[in-house]
Amino acid sequence: MENLRKILIPIILFILATGCEDVRLHSFRSLQGGWNVCDTLEYAYCAPDGGDGSFAVDVQLRCEASYPYSELWLGVQCVADSAGMLSADTLRCEIFDSLGRHSGTTGGILYQTAHPLGVRQFPAGDTVRVRLYHLMDCGTVKGVTDAGIKITSLSQHQF
């Protein structure tokens, strides 16, 4: 029993130390009936005072197996209420790999994929709005059921 404890305690401590992200916002919007070219999804996050304002931003998608394309092109804007436009990017989201397999994980009938947007600097105390819209040639993209973002703090001293 003592030998088992000597093995398990370091393993548990390692998992706890490496598996903790400082996730500040993780939110999805439902896209029932498809994602229309006129639909802009917006996610608001109030950056705290303190810290250096560095955040990792990921776009996350949930798609059905019937999604008809191998990728999804998105426009992504980060806009601060007081500072204005922080960044505007085009993001290529791979849904199927080159062999036709789903790129994401599944928990049943939906596949979830994560697409890093990179590190962004958000002004302290300001509300930042992340906007997503699709850039596909079709008017409505079918097969995408949810789109979301995950904002993770990279600063060690934010409260």
pLDDT (tens place) for every residue of the chain, 159 residues total: 666 566 656 555 444 444 566 888 899 999 988 999 999 999 999 988 877 788 999 999 999 988 899 999 999 999 999 888 999 999 999 998 888 777 878 777 888 999 999 999 899 889 999 999 999 998 899 999 999 999 998 875 444
The per-residue pLDDT for 18 is 47
- The torsion of the CA quartet 97, 135, 128, 33, rounded to 10 degrees, works out to -80
Specify the amino acid at residue 13.
L
The per-residue pLDDT for 158 is 42
Task: Tell whether the torsion through CA atoms of 121, 59, 18 and 158 is positive or negative.
Answer: positive
Do the beta carbons of residue 30 and residue 145 sit within 8 Å? Answer: yes
- Cα distance between residue 5 and residue 84, in whole Å: 54
Name the residue ranges covered by the structural domains of the chain. Answer: 22-153
Nearest Cα to Cα of residue 72 among 16, 106, 109, 31: 31
The per-residue pLDDT for 49 is 81
Which CATH architecture is the domain 22-153 placed in? Sandwich (2.60)
Kindly report the number of other CB atoms within 10 A of residue 29's CB atom.
Answer: 14
Report helix, strand and coil shares of the chain as percent, to nearest 5: 10, 55, 35
The per-residue pLDDT for 96 is 86
Task: Tell whether the torsion through CA atoms of 126, 132, 133 and 135 is positive or negative.
Answer: positive
